[in-house]
């Protein structure tokens, strides 16, 4: 089991993507299949951007074993009032300023969903959001009970 934790600062768009790049390198060194790497990196990058764009600060904990990668993103921030709505493509609460930087198109959560085998979001408005993403590597099927 490999465990890494990354701190994500809110509002720092120029650093968004650093954690997912580091995780990509680890997955490549482990010899994980390219498709899983790509899906994981895309999902994790979106999650990073979400913390940067919406929250004050957050952490991403990455746990890798021989079958899967589990990423837990926890942030302190405004939270998501209506998760179902946020999952719809195109829905966004991003400010004009964030949109001008090329973010906030409302594709973040739908994109995460498309690139993960398992996704769970829990959020308390005014406190923050916790997001769990799991991807199973090639040759390891997603267990039925999840």
- Please report, as ranges, the residues that interact with other proteins according to CB under 8 A: 1-2, 17, 20-21, 24-26, 28-32, 34, 37-38, 41-42, 45, 64-66, 137
Judged by beta carbon, residue 37 or residue 80, the one nearer other proteins is: 37
CB contact set of 97 (below 8 Å; sequence gap of 6+): none
Burial of residue 42, with CB atoms counted within 10 A of its CB: 0-12 exposed, 13-18 middle, 19 or more buried:
middle
Judged by beta carbon, residue 101 or residue 127, the one nearer other proteins is: 101
Strand partners, 134: 70, 118
Q: Minimum Å distance from CB 26 to other proteins? A: 7
Q: How far from chain centre, in Å, is Cα 102? A: 18
Q: Minimum Å distance from CB 89 to other proteins? A: 16
């Amino acid at each position: 089991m490999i465990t890494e934790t990354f701190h994500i600062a809110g509002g720092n768009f120029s650093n968004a993507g650093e954690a997912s790049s580091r995780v990509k390198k680890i997955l490549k060194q482990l010899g994980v299949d390219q498709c899983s790497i790509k899906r994981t990196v895309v999902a994790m990058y979106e999650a990073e951007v979400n913390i940067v764009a919406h929250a004050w600060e957050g952490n991403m904990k990455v746990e890798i074993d021989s079958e899967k990668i589990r990423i837990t993103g926890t942030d302190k921030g405004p939270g998501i009032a209506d998760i179902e709505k946020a999952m719809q493509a195109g829905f966004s609460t991003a400010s004009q300023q964030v949109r001008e930087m090329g973010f906030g198109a409302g594709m973040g959560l739908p994109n995460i969903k498309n690139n993960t085998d398992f996704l769970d979001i829990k959020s308390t408005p005014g406190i923050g959001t916790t997001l769990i993403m799991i991807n199973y590597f090639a040759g390891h099927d997603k267990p039925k009970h999840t």
